[in-house]
A and B are shown apart, each in its own frame.
Chain A
Amino acid sequence: MRALSYARAADADTAITLVAGHPEGTFLAGGTTEVDLARQDVRRPGLLVDINDLPLNRVEDLPGGGVRIGALARMSDVARAPAVVARFPVISQALVLGASAQLRNMASIGGNLCQAVRCGYFRDVASACNKRDPGSGCAAMDGMNRGHAILGVSDKCIATHPSDVAVALVALDAVVHTRGPAGQRAIAIDDFFLLPGDTPQAEHPLEHGELITAIEVPAAPIARRSAYLKLRDRESYEFALASVAAAIRVEDGTVAEVRLALGGVATKPWRARRAEELLLGEAATEASFTEAARQELAQASCRPQNAFKVELAQRAIVRALRAVMNGDAR
């Protein structure tokens, strides 16, 4: 790892001032991405500002049934927070199915949203990667791309977004609260994750020195019966090949409300809006679930090694909806 400087901040203003004032300054929360990538020489932070002492780790109820998750709350703590377990099981499940117990104890929820892609070419400084080195090309296009994205891709980047909990948060219309040199703002989570397009190096709209302070999840009674289905090459401690965050409310046999988001198949946590729109008002049957899944994946753009994800994702959508509807999720 290259030499770097370190400071520990006790309050948000100090942390923001320090990072904003250093061209290679960055925040250090759990460190599970930052320390790893600095050691691989993928990132070269000149100053790490340790924010772990900031009082941003509480999980609080919001009036009306929502929840406010402090950016420094650890994955493990959010997963077992009573409000999350009871009202947003899809968040809790997505967290527990991610990483390992040790990493969940370290990684913060704000850091989780900022985690880097796991594309092997991004992590290998000898390979071409438009995300790491804009203009250098994309070695994944004709390389080992079995795990790569089929939705939201561009000719510059096909790296899969790795987060599980972000998929649940996108399904629930969460809001990311930030504070930076220019003040505070709230960003709808779907806008927080950028498609690669021609600028895959830009993954989210945060300015230099802008700090995530909290993630708010608005009240959603439908989420009380929600679930996260994750399919992967091994049973545990692995990134998704395809995953689904699902919630559905059925009235008189028809779909009255539905939330659907996909992980493991897209360059950002993927809200399946096309499928949601198709399902609304339709009979809640295997046939309509299958058709909605098929249409959502009709926009897929595959490489030879990852074409299997089309059918995998379709089946995962149907299975997740059926499980939530029948109340036998997981």
Chain B
Amino acid sequence: MSTSVISQAVVRGPRAGTVVLSVNGQERELLIEPRVSLLDALREHLGLTGSKKGCDQGTCGACTVWVDGRRVLACLTLALSCEGREVTTIEGLAADGSLHPMQAAFIDQDAFQCGYCTPGQIMSAVALLKEGHAGDDAEIAEWMSGNICRCAAYPNIRAAIRDVRDSAGGDR
């Protein structure tokens, strides 16, 4: 990447350069242009295809990941802006080969049909419990409204969230 120093900041691009991202606890090096979104960096450069590209304009939630522990949309996030931050994707949720309780609950409650929105739903759902906004079904619906499900599995998604909310250890 062509670089120049102005004041105290380094200007990078527009050509590709080396970027180091911390994803699911691992440092990963990529060669990308500044215009590359976090979503494209994950899917096309790091092979982490769990995060899905639905609308690519911030309306569907299929690309929901965590940056520094907060749920955000990877499609509207530039990969470069995540340098020095911790990115967590659906691939980083299971620990030691066992599913996260929310993943297990989605299976138990049949909380999907086609499955395309599911990684985003699960990343959002785990964050929702941490945020403390899963008091009742109305609150769950409101705070999950950024994750669209074309198959309309909403009742079962809410059931999965209730299951984890009501069981110990779900708030991992």
Residue numbers of B with Cβ under 8 A of A are: 6-15, 33-35, 37, 56-58, 61, 64, 70-73, 76-78, 80-81, 83, 124, 127-128, 131, 133, 141-147
Q: How far is it, in angstroms, between the C-alpha of A40 and the C-alpha of B76 when the chains are bound?
A: 12
A101 and B128 within 8 A (CB): yes
Q: Can you list 19 residue pairs at the A/B interface with Cβ under 8 Å?
A: A1-B35, A3-B14, A7-B12, A8-B80, A8-B83, A11-B8, A14-B8, A17-B6, A28-B78, A31-B81, A38-B35, A48-B34, A48-B78, A50-B81, A100-B147, A101-B71, A106-B73, A106-B76, A235-B145
Contact of A3 with B146 at beta-carbon distance under 8 Å, contacts A40-B57, A103-B73, A106-B77 already known: no
A28 and B81 within 8 A (CB): yes
Contact of A3 with B33 at beta-carbon distance under 8 Å, contacts A35-B77, A102-B72 already known: yes
Q: Which of chain B's residues has its CB closest to A97's CB?
A: B142
**Which residues of chain A are within 8 angstroms of B144 by Cβ–Cβ distance?**
101
A248 located at the interface, meaning its Cβ lies under 8 Å from any Cβ of chain B in the complex: no
**Which residues of chain B are within 8 angstroms of A100 by Cβ–Cβ distance?**
61, 145-147
Known: A8-B83, A9-B7, A101-B146. 13 other contacts (CB 8 A): A3-B33, A4-B35, A5-B12, A15-B9, A28-B78, A31-B78, A32-B58, A36-B76, A38-B35, A50-B78, A101-B143, A105-B72, A235-B145
Contact of A105 with B71 at beta-carbon distance under 8 Å, contacts A6-B34, A36-B76, A48-B78 already known: yes
B6 and A21 within 8 A (CB): yes
Q: Give the contacting residue for A6; candidates B13, B71, B124; CB below 8 A.
A: B13
Quote the shortest CB–CB distance from A11 to chain B (angstroms).
Answer: 7
Contact with B along A200-238 (1 / 0, CB 8 A): 000000000000000000000000000000000001110
B37 and A35 within 8 A (CB): yes
A18 and B9 within 8 A (CB): yes
